[in-house]
Each structure stands twice: as structure tokens, then as C-alpha cells.
Amino acid sequence: MGVAAAGALLVSFDGYIRPSNTLAITSREVSQRQAGSNPNYPSLVVTIAPQADDHGQQPAPSTKSGDHDCTIVFGDQASLKANRGICRDALLWASKKARRGRPLFDISLAKYEQLFNQAVSDVKLRSLRVTPHCARHGGPSTDAALKLRLLEAIQKRGLWRSASSVRRYEKHGALMRQIAKMTSSQLRSVPAALRRLQNMFKI
């Protein structure tokens, strides 16, 4: 269950997705480019808040803005440039393990929050005052700071209707303050932690 929660957090971070929408993703909403198809098509796409389909499934909860059938590309150039191939791998790992029509990360929001809080405590990062929802903002903050995506692209990826909702990501002070709260030892431990995660999500 802890591995599933870690995978959900990675997907939420890279896709700028709210925790509730991340946990609602099922195997039906993950589309991978097939061998022999046009290589210019996206390699991996997730549909957020799908409408009912021909399988008779009920519509997923809409996004906060009331939308359905929103798509997010994983493993695109910007994410790979940020060394976030692990997020794509976590999505593929979960989609291959999930039963057809079942949530990829088959855990409740309450359990997800519990596991997240425990992990934050274990690595002594309570001073950051983070929650699972912070992943939705951490992804665009990082991409804006590293100039990996323009604000227009960030707005589209995060499904924000208004440009004013993403202007905060132009201001990098909040991100830098969070990083400044981490000790040198904690920062040095990040590469090893990422390697462990990569091993967890090998397919």
C-alpha cells in the first residue's frame, strides 16, 4: 500500500493532479501509444474525470472546475528533461497491476493522507507543512522555476481555467523557502531515495 501511495504522489506531482482525481484514475483511463502507430502521437495519456462510456461505468467525479474528459500527457519532453521519467514509470507500473476498471492506486483518500503524513514524519520534514495536495502545486512551481514549461502550458496541464490561477508560479520565493528548510543531509539523500523509487516501479 505504501508503494501505491508513492506512485500516486509521483503521478499527482508530474500531472499537477488533485489527490482525489489521482486516486480515481482507473486502468481504462490510461492510454499508451501502440507499436506501429504514428510516433508523433503522445506515448502515454491519462484521462481525468471521464464521462460514462460504453462499458456502462458511472462518470467519475468532475474536476473542481466542473470539467470531464480532460487529458494529461505523461513522459513528454518537459517531464523527461526534469528527470521525471519515474513518474511515467509509476503510472505504467500501476496500470499493469490494476484490474480492469479498478483504480490504479486502490487506496482511500484517508489512507493516502495517513501514509503521506507518516512518511513526512519519518524523513523529518514536518517543518515543510506539506499535504498530498501540495504535489499539485509542487509540479508547476518546479517547472516554472526551471523554465521547463511556459505559464500557458502549465495552465493547460493543470486544468486551470484562469491565467490568474497560475501566475503564482512565476514567483519562486515559496519554492526556495521550502528548499531552504531542508538540511544539507536531507538534500544529499534525494538521489538515493529516487534510485530506490525507480527500482520499485521497474516493469
- Banded pLDDT at 150 (limits 50, 70, 90): very high
Q: What percent of the chain has pLDDT over 90?
A: 68
- For the chain, the helix, strand and coil percentages under 3-state DSSP, each to the nearest 5: 55, 5, 40
* Nearest alpha-carbon partner for 151 in 16, 8, 6: 16
| Cβ-based neighbour number of residue 88 at 10 Å | 21
Q: What is the mean pLDDT of residues 164-174?
A: 89
- Banded pLDDT at 101 (limits 50, 70, 90): confident
pLDDT score at 93: 94
pLDDT score at 73: 94
pLDDT score at 100: 81
Grid cell at residue 18: 488533485
Q: Where are the alpha helices (DSSP H) in the chain?
A: 2-15, 19-24, 77-81, 85-97, 109-122, 134-145, 151-157, 173-180, 184-188, 190-200
pLDDT digits (tens, 9 = 90+) for 22-78: 999 998 899 887 766 666 667 899 998 887 655 556 555 666 666 778 899 999 999
What single letter denotes the amino acid at residue 133?
A: H
pLDDT score at 59: 59
Judged against a pLDDT cut of 70, whether residue 95 lies above it is answered with: yes
Residue predicted with more confidence, 53 or 148: 148
